[in-house]
Amino acid sequence: MWRFNDEQQMLRDTVQQLAREELAPRAAELDSAHAFPSDWFAAWGELGLFGMTVPEELGGAGLGDLAAVLAVEELARGCAASASVLATHLFQVVPAVVRFGSEDLQAELLENLATGAAIGAVAWSEKQAGCDLAALESRAVSDGDGWKLEGAKTSVAGAGVAQHLLVAAHTSSERRLESVGLFVVDCDGSGVSVDGSPVSLGLRAAGAATVTFRGATVEGSRRLGEASAIHAPIPALRASTDLGAAALALGIAQASLDQAIDYAKTRKTFNVPIAEHQAISFKIANMATDVRAARALVYETASSLETVGGHDGAAASAKLFATEAAERCAFEALQIFGGYGYSQEYPVERLYRDARMGTLNDGTSEMQRIAIAASTLGA
């Protein structure tokens, strides 16, 4: 049993109640409508959720990675799609600005990012470039004091409701990782268009969109990192990105277990609840073990990132295990529901679809294993 301080426990209890009473009852409707519930932002802002990873001295709550993990996990139990937007904001956009933004850029952006007055999303992937950032076709061309962006990004989660985008683009004609830079771009800026994306299998209420840049103007101060090491922010953000994805998956895994337990206790066959059949009880035992193991790994990784900075191997392990555990738990939950699990009458079919994205997005399971092997073998 993980021990939380009073602040963390209060946060967890509050967000858990919010997810149960506000998010879960609307999750199916939002999934069907492919609509992100931006009306929830006010409540999230009042709770300080957007500023958890912003240091106090920069205007945030400064609650740290573990608190942010707890919030994303609990929100994901109610609606994984909406929780995914918060995860990107907390574990990718905010850390990028905090760690690599100039003091002027921090002063310009962090106050609104901390309150939820502005939301951040990440625009990295393209049709021909996912994990292989060197293959990106988006270009950032210097025009003296700033940059001009050209290119298109696909399936940018949260782009439909965000105000700022963290954009990866090549800064020279050489397509190699060293030439890839990160830029903070305003969604309503000149030359930026945000359009709908094709319907996805899961996380349909995440406000995903296709973003196109046609000569979009970006001020020089909006580039993150030093000019001599402009690519440095990308690998440096890997651990926090993995942690956010792991927290989201943990919430999906727990929700799958919750659904399976409730159904197994009430559904009867042969005059007894199906939970009394060994075949079903063993499935639930395996799910519970997956959730507990994933939670221990994710929480330990969050704590290590706060205290010693962590390393890619630990965060990659957390993401790998948690996302694959979520898939296993969602699969078994659907199996326990039988034919009903295949129907939209119950939430397990949505959990099954949402879980599938975890092993694909923000680095596939195969890429995580490469990172873990390299870290473990000292490569």
Burial of 40 (0-12, 13-18, 19+ CB in 10 A): buried
Indicate the domain borders of the chain. 6-118, 121-228, 237-377
Two domains, one topology: 6-118 and 237-377: no
Residue 3 has pLDDT above 90, yes or no: no
292-318 pLDDT, tens digit per residue, is: 999 999 999 999 887 655 565 899 999
The per-residue pLDDT for 44 is 94
How distant is the alpha carbon of residue 119 from its chain centre? Answer: 13
173 compared with 15, residue with greater pLDDT: 15
Q: Is residue 224 a contact partner of residue 97, using CB atoms and an 8 Å limit?
A: yes
Give 1's pLDDT tier (boundaries 50, 70, 90).
Answer: low
* DSSP-derived 3-state class of residue 214: strand
CA pair distance 254, 307, nearest whole angstrom = 27
Residue 274 has pLDDT above 90, yes or no: yes
Residue 343 has pLDDT above 90, yes or no: yes
Q: Which fold has domain 237-377?
A: Butyryl-CoA Dehydrogenase, subunit A; domain 3 (1.20.140)
The per-residue pLDDT for 121 is 97
98-138 pLDDT, tens digit per residue, is: 999 999 999 999 999 999 999 999 999 898 887 788 889 99
308 compared with 229, residue with greater pLDDT: 308
Mean pLDDT rounded to a whole number for the chain: 92
CATH no., domain 6-118:
1.10.540.10
The per-residue pLDDT for 307 is 63
Identity at 259, one-letter amino acid code: Q
The per-residue pLDDT for 230 is 47
202-221 pLDDT, tens digit per residue, is: 999 998 999 999 999 999 99
The per-residue pLDDT for 199 is 81
The per-residue pLDDT for 104 is 94
The per-residue pLDDT for 154 is 92
The per-residue pLDDT for 228 is 46
Residue 198 has pLDDT above 80, yes or no: no
Residue 14 has pLDDT above 90, yes or no: yes
The per-residue pLDDT for 177 is 78
42-64 pLDDT, tens digit per residue, is: 899 999 999 999 999 999 999 99
CA pair distance 192, 124, nearest whole angstrom = 15
Q: Please give the average per-residue pLDDT across 11-40, as a whole number.
A: 94
Q: Please give the average per-residue pLDDT across 345-362, as a whole number.
A: 96
Q: Please give the average per-residue pLDDT across 71-94, as a whole number.
A: 97
Whether the CA torsion 318, 323, 325, 329 is positive or negative: it is positive
CATH architecture type of domain 121-228:
Beta Barrel (2.40)
